[in-house]
């Protein structure tokens, strides 16, 4: 190539670059706003997304079938003390559950759905401790004919450190016996904070625990330091792209192109409330009725809520009420803000219309 032609090309490029910089400031800005977009209802958008026809089904099926040949290797890794971390494009929920249902039938399997918005990690540890305790009682009964072991402290009164210490005790007679924890999306919104990741890392290092987890965010490894990755989690990484849609995981995330729907918010809150005890629902109803009858107030004072619940025999003590409020806050049904006089007030982050629909739903 002629040297002059190269010089001309470089000159033309640099000239266009500086011309673009010169006229950049004089260009007219657009008046369009995000709020001007005509958004569709969320249910309509989800229905349209569900009706998208999958492509390359045979190839994807063949790919997933090839992963099944690795199941025995995965079980061997777990028995050797490693934990499994699945990464790659596509939902890995069905793949991991298929592995658990076919290859981990001899072990207790515990599932954590990390794609949920809020998870109570202490309740997870309590449930795991109870599973392990039941296993130990059954084994002692088989060996000695007596299942009793006196003086066992209730797990719900123990601290997180005590629960982890119990799970890490070398009290399982068989080395290959363990509880397998399946964590769908260990990088999910309910698990990705630093404190929860530290607890999960300590849990994964317990002698009677093995973890099979999936990740989907490209920056997930930034959640862990070197000790967590190599010593506590002790990951075996497996690249298992499935190209499967995130149907279940995506149900719990708001769609960007969807219009906020009052009825949808009420239905979502109703589903959460239906999983709580009738007493907890009654306490929530007291707060909702107060908020509807006092629309100009900043919320219901905690003392007023306790007095009302005590009159209606819904809470015998402040401790009982606090346990209900903790559950509400964990599920983001109730929030707290400071009143102008300095006291804490409780409010439900829903519009009056949505709150009325919610009361109809739970009634």
Q: What is the pLDDT of residues 67-77, one digit of tens each?
A: 999 999 999 99
Q: Is 235 helix (H, G, I), strand (E, B) or coil?
A: strand
Cβ–Cβ < 8 Å for 157, 129: no
Quick one: pLDDT band at residue 200, thresholds 50, 70, 90? very high
Distance of alpha carbon 25 from its chain centroid, rounded?
A: 45
Q: What is the DSSP string of 263-309?
A: HHHHHHHHHHHHTS-HHHHHHHHHHHHHHHH-TTSS-EEHHHHHHHH
Evaluate if residue 1 carries a pLDDT over 70: no
Residue 128, domain extent: 57-139+156-239
Q: What is the DSSP string of 305-328?
A: HHHHHHHTTS-SSHHHHHHHHHHH
pLDDT at site 145: 52
Q: Are residues 219 and 284 in the same domain?
A: no
pLDDT over 90, % of the chain: 36
- Structural Rg of the chain based on CA atoms: 27
pLDDT at site 153: 56
- The region that residue 72 occupies, defined by phi over 0 for left and psi between -120 and 50 for alpha, beta otherwise, is alpha
Largest Cα span, the chain: 96
Last-in-domain residue among 208, 239, 270: 239
Q: Are residues 63 and 191 in the same domain?
A: yes
pLDDT at site 138: 73
Q: Are residues 70 and 211 in the same domain?
A: yes
pLDDT at site 8: 60
pLDDT at site 116: 84
pLDDT over 70, % of the chain: 77
Q: Are residues 83 and 212 in the same domain?
A: yes
Global pTM value: 0.61
The predicted-structure confidence for 98-137, as pLDDT tens digits, reads as follows 999 999 999 889 999 998 877 889 989 998 988 888 877 7
Domain count, the chain: 2
Instruction: Read off the tokens for 351.
Output: 């519009």
Cβ–Cβ < 8 Å for 127, 166: no
Q: Can you tell me the mean pLDDT for 272-277?
A: 78
Q: What is the DSSP string of 96-156?
A: HHHHHHHH-TTSEEEEEETTSS---HHHHHHHHHHHHHHHHHHHHHHHHS----TTPPPGG
Evaluate if residue 237 carries a pLDDT over 60: yes
């Amino acid at each position: 190539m002629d040297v002059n032609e190269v010089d001309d090309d470089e000159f033309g490029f640099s000239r266009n670059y500086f011309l673009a910089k010169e006229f950049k400031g004089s260009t007219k800005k657009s008046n369009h706003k995000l709020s001007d977009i005509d958004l569709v209802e969320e249910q309509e958008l989800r229905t349209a997304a569900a009706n998208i026809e999958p492509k390359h089904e045979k190839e994807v099926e063949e790919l997933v079938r090839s992963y099944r040949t690795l199941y025995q290797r995965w079980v061997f890794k777990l028995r050797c003390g490693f934990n499994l971390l699945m990464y790659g494009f596509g939902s890995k929920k069905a793949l991991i559950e298929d592995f658990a249902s076919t290859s981990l039938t001899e072990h207790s399997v515990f599932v954590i759905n990390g794609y949920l918005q809020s998870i109570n990690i202490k309740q997870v540890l309590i449930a795991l401790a109870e599973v392990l305790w039941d296993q130990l009682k059954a084994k002692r009964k088989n060996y000695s004919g007596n299942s009793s072991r006196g003086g066992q402290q209730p797990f719900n009164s123990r601290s997180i450190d005590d629960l982890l210490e119990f799970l890490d005790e070398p009290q399982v007679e068989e080395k290959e016996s363990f509880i397998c924890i399946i964590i769908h999306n260990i990088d999910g919104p309910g698990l990705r904070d630093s404190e929860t990741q530290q607890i999960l890392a300590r849990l994964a290092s317990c002698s009677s625990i093995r973890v099979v987890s999936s990740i989907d965010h490209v920056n997930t490894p930034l959640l862990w330091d070197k000790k967590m990755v190599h010593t506590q989690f002790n990951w075996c990484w497996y690249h298992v792209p499935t190209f499967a849609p995130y149907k279940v995981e995506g149900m719990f995330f708001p769609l960007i192109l969807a219009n906020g729907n009052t009825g949808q918010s009420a239905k979502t809150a109703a589903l959460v409330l239906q999983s709580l005890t009738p007493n907890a629902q009654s306490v929530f109803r007291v707060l909702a009725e107060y908020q509807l009858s006092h629309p100009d107030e900043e919320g219901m004072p905690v003392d007023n809520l306790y007095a009302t619940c005590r009159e209606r025999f819904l809470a015998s003590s402040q401790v009982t009420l606090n346990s209900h409020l903790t559950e509400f806050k964990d599920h983001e049904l109730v929030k707290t803000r400071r009143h102008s006089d300095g006291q804490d007030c409780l409010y439900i982050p829903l519009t009056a219309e949505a709150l009325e629909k919610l009361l109809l739903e739970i009634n």
